[in-house]
Structure 1
């Protein structure tokens, strides 16, 4: 699973952040499946 530190988030653009959140959401859905 991809762990993102708060420092990484601070340096990301909002577009990158949205993509990262989408990836995390997909991983969570796979874990629950």
Structure 2
């Protein structure tokens, strides 16, 4: 149960990081043009 919670938290953190990176890339692309 604890392991499952830890895995879920890690996955959520990874998803958030990916979303942030995508947003940063989009902003950079928008600024560049």
Scaled by the length of structure 1, the TM-score of the pair is 0.62
Q: Which runs of 4+ in 1 moved over 6 A?
A: none
Structure 1 portions without partners, runs of 5+: 1-11
- What is the RMSD computed on CA atoms of the aligned residues? 1.4
Higher Cα radius of gyration: 2
Q: Could you say which structure has the higher helix fraction? A: 2
How many corresponding residue pairs? 22
The higher-RCO structure (CA 8 Å, 6+ apart) is 1
Scaled by the length of structure 2, the TM-score of the pair is 0.62
